[in-house]
Amino acid sequence: MSTQYVYQNIARAVREHGVDTMFGLMGDANLFMVDSFVRDCGGRFVPAAHEGSSVLMALAYAHVAGKVGVATVTHGPALTNCMTALTEGVRGHIPMVLLAGDTPVTMPLHLQSADQRALVKATGAGFEQVRAPDTIAMDVARAFYRAEVERRPVVLNMPADFMWETAAHETHVLDVFTAPGNVAEGDILDEAIGMIASARRPLILAGAGAVAAKTKLIRLADRLEAPLATTLKAKGLFNDHPYNIDIFGTLSTPAAYELIAQSDCIMCFGTGLHDFTTDRGKLMKGKRIVQVDVEPTAIGGGLHPDAALVADAGLTAETILYWLNEAEVSPSGFTRELDIKTLTAHPVGASKTAEGCINYVYALERLEKALPKDRLLVTDGGRFMTEVWCRLSVEGPRSFVATTNFGSIGIGLQEAVGAGLAAPDRPVVLFSGDGGFMMGGINEFNTAVRLGLDLIVIIANDSAYGAEHIQFLDRKMDPSLTEFHWPSFAEVATALGGQGAMVQTEAELDAALAMIKTRNGPILIELKLDPRYVPRMRI
């Protein structure tokens, strides 16, 4: 054991958890810890322009890298600026640790003092308090342990007046087993197997909680001759399978939606069955539902399944397969009827648009072919996003970040930065709306430039809050309050050190696609759209 300042012990304890990248914004209560993390521990600090951005960057980093993300901010307003981002992480079940400074305990009237425990509690994130200078290593270890086990952000609260006190440092890292292997058994398992064995048109649905069970789910699907589908968060999981019908629910193709409606048994692994997945229950009517999830809270929230198994997805799939073989159950033959090309083709529709604008679906079809195939795809929130989800492919779930867990806009570019740093050898493609980019994208586009990220930003600019615009039109009301005269985003991108291109015609789209091939650093392509001709959201 060695004696050091508390700020050094915090940095060292974080580094001992295998952390090499920390996102954040420095202030009075965390600046010396950040300095020690970089200078003493050889870590990398990624400075954000806004405190909430640092949390969002860490969330995307955690998702793509598959490990706990780490961010740091100072106290008071710095933490309140993180509340939306923390809630996004909680709703997305993403493990991360936020090292948050706190005002000195000896100064209750400090200008930036706040009840930080209450603030964190309101977001649903976990809260850990640094108890004393000599408990640093244990407190840090507890925060990381909880983040992994609880699969949510945990805030470690660090009083500023501890930082220059001294204490001995002893390594504390709690080994965490994060893959509980509950095995399904008992009468409910028997009932589930009976439903599956008697099904003539079975279908397997996998969510984010079943990504690790991919191979076992495919074996079960092949044995049953059942098509495979995923939730949005598991997009791309079954890309190479001949009977993959892609996203299940409101984002399905019309043909796949009809196929789902015709199925008689749906086996749901690792999904909470959100309303968008089930189309508010419509797709589940008249069929047997078997739901398997290791998280008890995931079951029964959206609908009540006919058989609910709180168990590991992969082990349960293996168990079901074993008993189907033992009973010599015949395959359903369902997949023999399928024409996958028809089932996975989204209709393009009319190419109608206004003069001076590009047709959005046409542009997306061109971008799908022109963008790098090994891309990480990130989408901000907004009316534009569902067409991107349906028409842009990804290599798998870890290559896709949808920033929609809390329904916020304006958080996409921040997560794109985190995704890019988690996989620096791969390009990042971000789709954002004009309102979202103005809300949270402009300040962090320059961060991407400073970091030299391989980032391609596509702005769907309909000069309006599109989702609200269409509601006014539907009720035959004046939508002008939703319309904005934004600056040229292409010119803004260039001013911030990147490259920008405005697209209003097919010729300009050709030039922008050519720019993708010759890019050197962040680029921004601004698609000028007419809000009357952007397809409706499919949710």
Give tens-digit pLDDT for 361-411: 999 999 999 999 999 999 999 999 999 999 999 999 999 999 999 999 999
Whether the predicted pLDDT of 231 surpasses 90:
yes
Cα–Cα distance measured from residue 437 to residue 496, given in angstroms and rounded to the nearest whole number: 14
Q: Are 334 and 414 part of one and the same domain?
A: no
Give the CA count within 13 Å in the CB-facing half-sphere of 408.
24
For residue 349, being part of any structural domain is answered with: no
Which of 103, 137, 169 is the C-terminal boundary of a domain?
A: 169
Structural domain includes residue 304: yes
Alpha-carbon distance of 99 to 303, in angstroms, equals: 37
On whether both 453 and 508 belong to a single domain, the answer is yes
Q: Which of 115, 137, 169 is where one domain is finished? A: 169
Mean pLDDT of the chain: 94
pLDDT at residue 50 in the model: 97
499 DSSP β-pair partners: 523
The CA distances from residue 303 to 8, 188, 266, 272, 529, in Å, are: 50, 17, 13, 9, 38
Give the CATH number for residue 29.
3.40.50.970
**Longest alpha-carbon distance in the chain:** 74
438: CB partners within 8 A, 6+ apart: 410, 486
Asked if residue 129 and residue 50 are part of one domain, the reply reads yes
Can you give the pTM of this predicted structure? 0.94
Mean pLDDT, rounded, for 177-191: 81
Alpha-carbon span 403 to 8, nearest angstrom = 34
**Domain encompassing residue 509:** 360-533
Same domain, 248 and 376: no
Task: Please tell me whether residues 247 and 320 are part of one structural domain.
Answer: yes
Summarised one tens digit per residue, pLDDT across range 198-224 is 999 999 999 999 999 999 999 999 999
Residue 450 in any domain: the answer is: yes
Res 342 pLDDT > 90 = no
In the predicted structure, residue 179 carries a pLDDT above the cut 70 = no
Q: Domain end: 280, 310, 343, which one?
A: 343
Joined together, the tokens standing for residue 184 give 């399904």
Mean pLDDT, residues 426-447 taken together: 95
Work out how many domains the chain is built from and give that number.
3
Same domain for 512 and 365?
Answer: yes
Asked if residue 177 belongs to a domain, the reply is: no
Assigned domain for 176 exists: no
Assess whether 45 and 161 both reside in one domain. yes
Residues 193 and 165 in one domain: no
- pLDDT at residue 251, as a whole number: 95
178 within some domain: no
Residues 244 and 372 reside in one and the same domain: no
Q: Is 135 within a domain?
A: yes
Q: Which amino acid appears at position 533 of this protein?
A: Y
Q: In 3-state terms, what secondary structure has residue 55?
A: helix
> Which pLDDT belongs to residue 524?
98
